[in-house]
Amino acid sequence: MTTEWLASAWPAGPWRHWLTDHGSLTWRLQRVAPDFRVKRLAQGTGVPHRDEFAILGLAPGHNAVIREVLLMNADTPLVFAHSVIPFSGLLGPWAALAGLGNRPLGAALFSNPRVGRHALEFKRVDRRHPLYHGAIRHLARPPRALWARRSPFTLEGHPILVTEVFLPETLLLR
């Protein structure tokens, strides 16, 4: 189990095509999940995870807006998504993201040609990582580890970090 996020090593196995796709995950899921929907779990002020501060240029311990949602097919959770938006961005170019509700963040990111996506990073998360605990709350039989990917997006120099944790039912989609 890796302790660092990997940017250069591509994950192998059945998750590879989900993890390495640089397009909109929302759009991809909408194509294969007939009853796709977004379920907002939480959105508010919080402290990012320890491994998120540096990638966002935040000092450790600083608060940000944290949004967590499930991407679902009907009542089946497919992806646990965790996004971190520094306050400086919400007061500037990312202000519209504050009112997303149950709408997908991916639609807002990929519809704006001024938004830049940076490199994807990958990691298998297990009980030692808070993302794992956020994701398994929605599973009847959680596996020992889950694959996650993350990448920062920027607009006018302001970053946000989007992390997606893939849940087992995603592999059943065609």
Domain presence at residue 96: yes
Token pair for residue 65?
């807006």
The pTM is what? 0.92
Domain presence at residue 6: no
b/e map of 25-38 (b: 16 or more CB within 10 Å)?
Answer: bbebbbeebeebbb
Q: What is the pLDDT of residues 26-45, one digit of tens each?
A: 999 999 999 999 999 999 99
What is the chain's mean pLDDT, rounded? 91
Domain presence at residue 8: no
Number of domain units in the chain: 1
Domain housing 100:
16-172
Residue with tokens 């194509």: 31
Domain presence at residue 5: no
Domain presence at residue 140: yes
CATH number of the domain at 119, please. 3.40.1410.10
pLDDT attached to residue 174 = 74
Phi first, then psi, for residue 61 (nearest 5°) are 90, -10
